Amino acid sequence: MFQGDISGLGFWIFVAALIVGGMWKESRQQAEKHETLRRIVEKTGTIDEAKLKELFRPAEEQSYPGLSYRALRVAGTIIMFAGAGLAAFFLIPKLFLSPIEWWYGGFSIAVGVAILGLGVFFSSRFAEPPANSRSDPPSR
């Protein structure tokens, strides 16, 4: 076997372990809920429908409106500035050391990174903006 084969095998074993662990965790949570329901029935003899719904309802995540909007804006800005920094890194040596020919590839990668940042920044338009943000129209 080659070294690459062993590392690939290790990666897939890790992925399988994550999947099996997630499935086991979910089944244990369901078993604990059923055990709780069984104990409630044993103690009281009746089933309260409100408690039953609360017990078997999936956990609701707390919502933070505008969080993805802000994250996309910040990430897009950081990526754009990283692209500008890379462009400067590859352009400045070209300006002062003219025989350098490798700057084309690096500069084109830097422009690609900046365009990626611009795309991430503008994708925030599709996310829910935070309440009472500066982009809201003024109320009368």
pLDDT tens-place string over residues 108-130: 889 999 999 999 999 988 888 88
pLDDT above 80 (res 88) = yes
pLDDT (0 to 100) of residue 140: 52
**Rounded to 5°, angle at Cα 86 from 67 and 93:** 165
pLDDT (0 to 100) of residue 104: 77
CB 133 within 8 A of CB 66: yes
pLDDT (0 to 100) of residue 1: 46
- Select from 116, 139, 115, 135 the least CA-distant residue to 125: 135
Separation CA 88–CA 123 (nearest Å): 26
The pLDDT mean for the chain works out to 81
pTM of this structure: 0.50
pLDDT (0 to 100) of residue 94: 75
pLDDT (0 to 100) of residue 59: 60
pLDDT above 70 (res 138) = no
Amino acid at 47: I
pLDDT (0 to 100) of residue 129: 83
Give the mean model confidence (pLDDT) for residues 83-100.
79
Separation CA 80–CA 38 (nearest Å): 57
